[in-house]
């Protein structure tokens, strides 16, 4: 999979050379290229933003550098581009969307800062490429960079060959066709730590009872923390 990230803060993406994503890059599963948007400015101050038409607080990212950046990326490879624009006004990022993005050949992440990117760039992307505007959740970040780190990690771990034991993906509660309950709590040795004991059932060796206990725990956690996930289910 080819990944391009365009940002005025390319240093944000240094952590992608670490851990599992870093190994996927080293192993040739992912071709990651990070680009400084300012490379496509031409004025002395490398200006990427300007005041909004119609007034109001904040700044808007100018269309011209984005247009040149997208044209240059399109030229650099013949793979079809899916442009991902992180914005709090986007489609909620879920495991389902992560699986969808993992099917694409090439993702181009366009990181906005300030109050966002001139809408004409977004409209141009919708007309020219596949465009997906994505939100990480109902809160406001200063820019798309942190969202892109999260999206890239969630997508890359789904690519064939990235996770050592692919069965661990199948067992995740958010895997396709799975119940979508929250995960049950996990324990490891020692059996007692600071006077807190591991639940007896987990030491019992009865796989059926363990499975039943874990299902109960997952359901109770989901009731407490995410009742929305249980809407439309019985009892």
Q: Which residues make up the interface to ligand 6GU (CB under 6 A)?
A: 86-88, 90, 134-137, 139-141, 143-144, 147
Q: Could you tell me the end-to-end alpha-carbon distance of the chain, in angstroms, rounded to an integer?
A: 43
> Cβ closer to ligand 6GU: 7 or 222?
7
- Which residue matches tokens 């119609």? 54
> Cβ closer to ligand 6GU: 40 or 93?
93
Min CB(182)–ligand 6GU separation in Å: 21
> Cβ closer to ligand 6GU: 65 or 143?
143
Rounded to 5 degrees, φ, ψ at 62 are -65, 145
> Cβ closer to ligand 6GU: 14 or 140?
140
Closest-approach residue to ligand 6GU (CB): 86
Min CB(56)–ligand 6GU separation in Å: 17
- Of 34, 31, 41, which is closest to residue 61 (Cα–Cα)? 41
- Of 3, 6, 4, which is closest to residue 113 (Cα–Cα)? 6
Residues 6+ apart with CB under 8 A from 163: 20, 157, 169
Min CB(12)–ligand 6GU separation in Å: 12
Min CB(87)–ligand 6GU separation in Å: 5
Min CB(142)–ligand 6GU separation in Å: 7
Spell out the SS3 assignment of 192-223.
EECCEECCHHHHCCCHHHHHHHHHHHHHHHHH
């Amino acid at each position: 999979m080819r990944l391009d990230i365009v940002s005025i803060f390319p240093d944000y993406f240094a952590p992608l050379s670490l851990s599992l994503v870093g190994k996927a890059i080293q192993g040739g599963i992912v071709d990651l290229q990070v680009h400084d948007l300012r490379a496509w400015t031409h004025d002395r101050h490398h200006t990427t933003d300007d005041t909004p038409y119609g007034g109001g607080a904040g700044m808007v990212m100018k269309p011209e550098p984005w247009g040149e950046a997208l044209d240059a990326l399109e030229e650099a490879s013949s793979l079809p581009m899916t442009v991902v624009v992180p914005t709090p006004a986007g489609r909620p990022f879920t495991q389902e969307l992560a699986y969808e993005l993992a099917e694409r050949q090439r993702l181009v992440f366009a990181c906005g800062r300030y109050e966002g990117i001139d809408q004409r760039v977004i409209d141009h992307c919708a007309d020219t490429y596949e465009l997906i505007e994505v939100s990480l959740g109902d809160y406001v970040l200063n820019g798309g960079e942190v969202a892109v780190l999260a999206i890239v990690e969630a997508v890359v771990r789904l690519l064939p060959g990235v996770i050592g034991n692919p069965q661990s993906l199948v067992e995740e509660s958010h895997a396709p066709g799975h119940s979508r309950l929250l995960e049950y709590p996990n324990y490891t040795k020692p059996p007692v730590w600071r006077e807190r004991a591991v639940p007896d059932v987990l030491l019992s060796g009865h796989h059926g009872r363990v499975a039943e206990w874990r299902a109960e725990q997952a359901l109770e956690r989901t009731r407490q923390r995410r009742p929305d996930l249980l809407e439309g289910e019985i009892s």
